[in-house]
Structure 1
């Protein structure tokens, strides 16, 4: 019983993250203006790339092995996310 409950709670946190990122990237703007949802999907992707980078940086502090790999890949993903943000806003 507790195994099913823990899997349900685990999947619920991912649904919560997707819903939060959708709202954060402006989900209601295309509904109001009648534009396409491409920008919203791209924004959600950018936020997940940044989140993955932050998780890898957190792993750097908690892991005893492979600290360098987590550190470089975490900052790499954050830089890629920042580049995507600048590309989306037209500054690159």
Structure 2
């Protein structure tokens, strides 16, 4: 595959993920209720933290050298994401 095509596909993949996470974290709610977009931005960041943790767990499954590092950091990021979700929803 061409380098330019590969970079375009990678860029499209990240734009798709950002759009999906923005919609998942309630993008239309501030538009309807005339409130700020702070909660949407924080929601997208929290979802990306969880996604990064799950990617690292996948890397731990396929990696031989750094398996324990990927496992530790992956579970830590998922735990941080879960903690932030509980903080945002007020269930701490």
- Identify the TM-score tier after normalising by the shorter chain: over 0.9
CA RMSD, 1 decimal? 1.0
The yes-or-no answer on 1:9 pairing with 2:38 is: no
1:44 match: 44
Q: How many residues align?
A: 92
Structure 1 residue runs without a partner (length 5+): none
2:33: which partner in 1? 33
Where does structure 1 differ by over 3 angstroms across 4 or more consecutive aligned residues?
none
Aligned counterparts of 1:74 and 1:31: Cα–Cα separation in 2? 34
Please list the CA deviations of residues 15-72 of structure 1 after superposition, one character each: whole Å capped at 9, or x if unmatched. 0000000000000000000000000000000000000000000001000101111001
1:10 aligned counterpart, secondary structure: helix
Give me the TM-score of the superposition, normalised by structure 1.
Answer: 0.97
Unpaired segments ≥5 residues, structure 2? none
